Structure 1
Amino acid sequence: MTTKKYRAALPQLGDTRLLTDGGLETTLIFHDGIDLPLFASFHVFRSVEEQRALRRYYERYARIALAQKTGFILDSATWRASRDWGDQLGYSAKELAAANHEAVAMLFDLRREFEADQPFVISGNMGPRGDGYAPETMMTAAESENYHARQVATLDEAGVDMISAITMTHAGEAAGIARACAKRAVPLALSFTVETDGHLPSGQPLGDAIREVDADTAHRPSYYMINCAHPDHFRDILDKGEDWTLRIRGIRANASRMSHAELDEADVLDDGNPAELGQDYANLQRVLPNLRVFGGCCGTDHRHVHSIGEACIHAPAA
């Protein structure tokens, strides 16, 4: 039985601080030696052995959360489990829906095993229709809603507490996902990625993108995050203390200071310095008073999230 246990009141919308995982795809590829065509982690559900590796990946993080006496957001391995990516990998619509359901079902098993006194929130993960580093085409909100509504519906039917749409590159696509989630009453964490100058890959300033999506007040996300960039790339724009920064409740940063273009060309994983990244997050809490969700993105693994948790989870409020 799948229950939407936290949908009515996500704990991270209050004062509860939660960990989440790190760079799923980079971990599976570089640490576990798994081939992920098109960076599509949902493809592991075609292999029993690769599914086991994915479960071990989650278990490692769940144990960190338990050790640090905090909750956890279980994010499904469905970042690229939408229609265009499924088509490229030869999935039928039925097979793609099944992969989304299998990915969420694994999270329910993990919650049953690990959740104790602290909440384990189940999140359906979604990504952009195109390249997460450089959008080939700019979508309107209507086009985006039409495209993403199917995966939103599938994840909702699978029983998720919320949806996390991460590595959003432009406001139009982000707004469309927000509309699709709002129409099914699914809480949404909407995460933009930024370049080294703190602007979206579309060139729009992050604050302007958040304000643009929020302007559609009937479909506002529950909160925003920043992902797939090093804190050095966006700290300066947060230091200004503008009102839109209060909408940011999550960070999933890269371990590497490299730009998206440099990461795209890299053959070797740049995993940075876990302790240093933890301190970077601690410093971000001083400019993001509502920061409640702490995880990683490309190049990060359990070591980074452990350090981030040690630095942030039980730190005094800003």
Structure 2
Amino acid sequence: MSRSHTSARLPHTGGDALFLTDAGLETWLIFQHGVPLRSFAAFELLESDTGRAALRAYYLPFLEMARDTGHGFVLETPTWRSGADWGAELGYSAAALTRINRDAVRFVTDLAREAAPGVPVVISGNIGPRGDGYDAGAPVTAEAAEDAHAFQVGVFATTGVDMVSAITITSAAEATGIARAAGRAGVPCVISFTVETDGRLPSGEGLVAAIRAVDAACDVPPAYYMVNCAHPDHFAAVLDSAGETAARIRGVRANASRLSHAELDCCETLDQGDRAELADLYAGLMLLLPRLSVVGGCCGTDHDHVREIARACRRGAHVHAPA
């Protein structure tokens, strides 16, 4: 296989255009709209009319935002918990998970056609970690991770998604397994790492070291990397010293809150942070990430956060454009 990144067919990796993506789907549903989710499994909402209506209410304003502001959009399926491990724990058979993952792709594709005709929309099959996105848990091997994730990656590959995105990944080994599964399935892959307040992965690995390790271990490396589920203050210093590896990070989905993952786990109310401040911090990240092309949010963020982030990044691109 080629060592080149499998990104040639991705419209948001070939130029300077800024693409938006969504925010904290699960926290928006649970805390802002009182929608109960078992183990944060938003995919179960696809199984009922009321659930699908809640997902529409979440996704449509983002697509309309992209349409109205002239940005492209990376549209993630609500399938963070519908991999083989979590699906089985929630009582779903392989056949049911196959149907649900395919249905999720149809659902978001139909929304994009309805709400954002003419907008460059990248359909992404969303993959979550085998365990908790805040806790690396017991060490895993890349081989075990590949075996575990090959099922969901394989299903997405049959649907015509533009790519798969693995979100809140906590170790280089699991990221490697996912990237290898995607390479074998012939679908571009994006890895988004969770980091702690010290900028390190929950596994203890450094962010830059993890990216380099995954790239070195894969015949077809990820198309690019992202950072998510942490406040910019938690990882900006790491990016400042990332050297050439910073060019491999194209996306950020930050938390609104500066709280640690342990603190967030104990919260009974939603910490939405300061939208304007968060947006300004994103604009600052553009100086540290020369190829930043995807911005959105994670825990505690919503449509208003992403709207402010888009405005700030437009201002930042104008201010820092070469003379």
Would you say same fold, with TM above 0.5? Answer: yes
Equivalent pair of 2:7/2:13 in contact (CA under 8 Å)? no
Equivalent residues of 1:70, 1:313 under 8 A apart: no
1:243 to partner: Cα distance: 1.4
RMSD: 1.5
Matched, 1:218 2:219: yes
| Cα pair 1:138 1:173 within 8 Å, conserved | no
Higher mean C-alpha deviation, range 130-139 or range 296-305: 130-139
2:240 counterpart of 1:228 = no
Cα distance per residue 1:241-264 (max 9 Å; x no partner): 411111000000000000010011
> Where in structure 2 are the equivalents of 1:38-53 lying within 5 Å?
38-53=39-54
Give the ranges of 4+ consecutive aligned residues of structure 1 lying more than 4 Å apart after TM superposition: none
Q: In percent, how many aligned pairs have the same letter?
A: 52
Residue 3 of structure 2: aligned partner: none
Alignment-mate amino acid for residue 284 of structure 1: L
CA distance in 2, matches of 1:104, 1:184: 17
Say how many residue pairs are matched.
313
> Is residue 13 from structure 1 mapped to residue 13 from structure 2 by the alignment?
yes
* Alignment map for 1:1-318 (pairs within 5 Å): 8-15=8-15, 16-313=17-314, 315-316=317-318
Taking structure 2 as the reference length, the TM-score comes to 0.94
| C-alpha separation in 2, matches of 1:103 and 1:218 | 29
**Structure 2 vs 1, CA of residues 231 and 186 (structure 1 numbering), >3 Å: closer, same or farther?**
same
Q: Indicate if the aligned counterparts of 1:18 and 1:313 stay in contact, CA closer than 8 A.
A: no
Question: In the superposition, relative to structure 1, how do residues 298 and 234 fare at CA in structure 2: closer, same or farther (>3 Å)?
Answer: same
Please state how far the C-alpha of 1:219 moved relative to its aligned partner: 2.3
Listed as ranges, the gaps of 5+ residues in structure 2 are 1-5
**Alpha-carbon spacing, 1:98–1:190, altered in 2? closer, same or farther (3 Å):** same
Distance 2:140 2:250 in 1: 25
Q: Is the 8 A contact 1:68 1:310 kept in 2?
A: no
The alpha-carbon deviation at position 115 of structure 1 amounts to 3.2
Cα separation, 2, equivalents of 1:65 and 1:228: 22
State the TM-score, normalized to the length of structure 1.
0.95
Uncovered stretches (5+) of structure 1, i.e. residues with no partner: 1-5
Shift of 1:126: 0.3
Select between 85-94 and 227-236 the one with higher mean Cα deviation: 85-94
Are the equivalent residues in 1 in contact too, given 2:134–2:170 (CA < 8 A)? Answer: yes
Please tell me whether the aligned partners of residues 179 and 218 of structure 2 are also in contact (alpha carbons under 8 angstroms).
Answer: no
Q: Helix, strand or coil: the match of 2:109?
A: helix
Query: In structure 2, how many angstroms separate the alpha carbons of the residues matched to 1:211 and 1:8?
Result: 21
**C-alpha contact (below 8 Å) 2:208/2:242 kept by paired residues:** no
Q: Shift in Å at residue 66 of structure 1?
A: 1.4
The 3-state SS of whatever aligns with 1:218 is coil
Task: Assess if the C-alpha contact under 8 Å between 2:73 and 2:121 holds in 1.
Answer: yes
Provide the rounded CA distance (Å) in 2 between the counterparts of 1:116 and 1:36.
31
